[in-house]
Structure 1
């Protein structure tokens, strides 16, 4: 058997796990001497046979992460018949999981990839929510899964972040009588826009507390009933013009409001 020492990484998924483990081990042996060949998304016996043919031609090890029982059994059997060395990188730990935690594995490939995809979607959504918070860049409205609109202190930002952690790209726009809403707000489907309203009393209480925390007098125009009523009336006109669904957040926790928003989206 001639040729460069080779480790064939075989997986019924992407093969990243096995690839990393093999390279980590190889570094303990001055890793540059070994060639790593990844064979991903192995789906049937023919795919395994192809690897075995290549492995017979060089000094080799087959390191695999295969969770489909029939493929694993076939690889073990055929490799033994051909006198090839194999290492199952998952089964010892899966067996320990089963025995210790008394649970059965799903034996489904690509589950790790699904977790990774979910994680990166969440990170992307969080970055989106930060970038397009408080109407900073109207162009984000056209790319958002959800657009929240409402007067100041209707929990737009906390809701945006909460929904972002669930993987939704959320932008929000404050409605202020002196500032016309961006034109993009009228270009998005109304089903993707949600208006947030609140009772004047509740908003007055929240804004007074906000001013107190900032060290300002509670008599400021920001917390006056006259100003609050003006803002709420203006916001209601905008929401009616758009024709979007509206949620009263007066006595709702963030989680409750988010749940209502997601139900609206499903409809």
Structure 2
């Protein structure tokens, strides 16, 4: 079970993503929906590879305990029936993402579905491209190796805490090879940024107040005082001005991520790259 809490304090909503496969589809749908309520504190708990009624019963009990919503992507009929019945018996909200569509397709096509979990994860060329892109994003994260700037489909630049790494991973799952480079006044930016086509580079900026709040929360999470220079307004303004100057020199597109979910920013980036 994977847990992710976004935002400080107790979550406003807990969502269990239940699947007889990996659960990627359900989690993507949850993230797309939760983005409509940004900012919000949420906790996505993924329960993957469900194979029996006992596992479903355990999830139902947890969902009831935490007043959570369940979103399930079960293709095995008796498991769908089980979670539907148990959720009703326990007063838990459970949403069937695939069942109604599978039923409609069976009627339209005129034959039953295969009822095999994980068929959309068949090891085809697309799958391997995605794996390669994810490995690329990890290797060239945070300018650990600046040679990735030349090899990347997309290069993200910006100050610390502008979602460079989450965006890199999200875009990697869309099969884009992404390198990201932090812009810090004390560190000279890689020369490669000024030699590759500027259309490949995306500058990320953010409002001073918004970044101040994010950095203070980050310091608290690390057990450090929020008065550290990393989160001061003066330091943030200096970094943003420096990053802005670099982006102007490059001549790249700049996106303000202040009140945008990762999914929304990624959509803007992909639209720009495809154009």
> TM-score normalized by structure 2?
0.57
1:99 positional shift? 8.3
Task: Give the secondary-structure state (helix, strand or coil) at the position aligned to 2:148.
Answer: helix
Is 1:204 aligned to 2:209, yes or no? no
For 2:111 and 2:178, the matched residues in 1 are separated by: 38
For 1:183 and 1:103, the matched residues in 2 are separated by: 59
**Partner in structure 1 of residue 128 of structure 2:** 120
For 2:181 and 2:133, the matched residues in 1 are separated by: 17
Structure 1 residues 103 and 177 mapped into 2: Cα distance closer, same or farther (>3 Å)?
A: farther
For 1:148 and 1:211, the matched residues in 2 are separated by: 23
- For these two proteins, the number of residue pairs brought into alignment is 165
Task: Give the secondary-structure state (helix, strand or coil) at the position aligned to 1:202.
Answer: helix
> TM-score normalized by structure 1?
0.58
Paired residues for 1:1-267 under 5 Å: 102=110, 116-267=124-275
For 1:158 and 1:140, the matched residues in 2 are separated by: 17
User: Could you say which structure has the larger radius of gyration?
Assistant: 1
Task: Give the secondary-structure state (helix, strand or coil) at the position aligned to 1:138.
Answer: coil
Structure 1 residues 179 and 103 mapped into 2: Cα distance closer, same or farther (>3 Å)?
A: farther
Structure 1 residues 155 and 100 mapped into 2: Cα distance closer, same or farther (>3 Å)?
A: same
For 1:264 and 1:124, the matched residues in 2 are separated by: 22
For 1:101 and 1:265, the matched residues in 2 are separated by: 37
Structure 1 residues 225 and 103 mapped into 2: Cα distance closer, same or farther (>3 Å)?
A: farther
1:208 positional shift? 0.2
For 1:245 and 1:192, the matched residues in 2 are separated by: 9
Task: Give the secondary-structure state (helix, strand or coil) at the position aligned to 1:122.
Answer: helix
Structure 1 residues 103 and 158 mapped into 2: Cα distance closer, same or farther (>3 Å)?
A: farther
Structure 1 residues 98 and 156 mapped into 2: Cα distance closer, same or farther (>3 Å)?
A: same
